[in-house]
Amino acid sequence: NRKKAINKKHLSLSSRELTQNYLPNCHIIEGIEYGAEDITILDGLAFLSTGLKYPGLPSYSDDPGKIYSLNLLDSDLKIKALNIKGQFDKGSFNPHGISVYTDVKDGAIYLFVVNHPQGKSQVEIFRFVEDENALQYIRTIRHELLHNVNDIVAVGTESFYATNDHYFTNEILKVMEPLLSLSWCDVVYYTPQTVQVVAGGFPSANGINISPDKRHLYVSDILKHKISVMEIQKNTVLSHVKEVDVGSLCDNIEVDRESGDLWLGCHPNGLKFMLSDPNDPPGSEVIRIENILSEKPQVTQVYSDDGSVIIASSVATPYGGKLLIGTVYQKALICDLK
């Protein structure tokens, strides 16, 4: 039992203390009060997934979740709620991971959103209508293999890879799952013709993203404090390439389309994150991985805070010399990169 206790302590990095490592010129993004769990940027336009209600974690608003846009090319940096058009239930919208896909044929932009209405798991596909700052609802995807979806990376107008962060769907078993040291979580590949598990053996699979050349997938193996690198084979099955240690519980992964660098929003102390005590809040950490496919990837802490500025960071994404940092249930921050 002592060995198990030590293992749990290691899983959660519960004894880890954080030293502050700030970036210059940081500002709270006005209007984000209830989290921006995932953020992705397309040509200077950021999409923010906000208001996630996730079992076991705090939620400070009963309002449904929203997707916001933030134009990083505008000097005033004001968020705008995206109006959802079509036959879509906005009242139960509970957005989690998001991914943007541009159709090479006609330039249409699609936003894929993991949604948990009434605690369920499904994927919504929207088309972004830029001149109206709106999302046109297209369809909802549900499948028994998509049972606890955390994050998603779109690879076509109707196809994607998704991670499941739990194996069980029963709420009590879900809470027990990390304590049982199971490695039953997986990555699922979806197209309208075929749905299959393409990688497994994760204690919990969280963030997922793809390399700029579309040849490698990156998955956050959050409880092992590693990023898994996998190569996409011709038959869409994944072959394991390597794991990169990050020393933190990293949540979402954003990939710089120019350099190929990975940017990770992380939970430096998992126990504090799970307890979410307002008097001893979980901190935040941003980690960057350069040259991940080389023999010696460079892992650097770019930002860290003990929770006094920003609580429970889950995503970080750079654009034009700035860094956006989102959280699971609190604020969002924009800073200058040094």
Binding residues for Ca(2+): 37-38, 98, 150-151, 206, 251-252
Do 313 and 284 contact (CB within 8 A), yes or no? Answer: yes
Q: Residues comprising the binding site? A: 37-38, 98, 150-151, 206, 251-252
Catalytic-labelled residue, pool 27, 96, 225, 267: 96
Q: Which long-range contacts (CB under 8 A, 24 or more apart) does 223-232 make?
A: 223/11, 223/178, 223/249, 223/270, 225/13, 225/249, 225/250, 227/253, 227/262, 227/264, 227/289, 227/292, 228/199, 228/202, 229/292, 229/293, 230/187, 230/199
Share in percent of the chain as helix, strand, coil (round to 5) = 10, 45, 40
96 in active site: yes
Tokens matching residue 337: 């990169």
Q: How far is CA 326 from CA 24, 89, 172, in A?
A: 17, 25, 28
Residue 210, SS3 per DSSP: strand
Catalytic site positions = 96
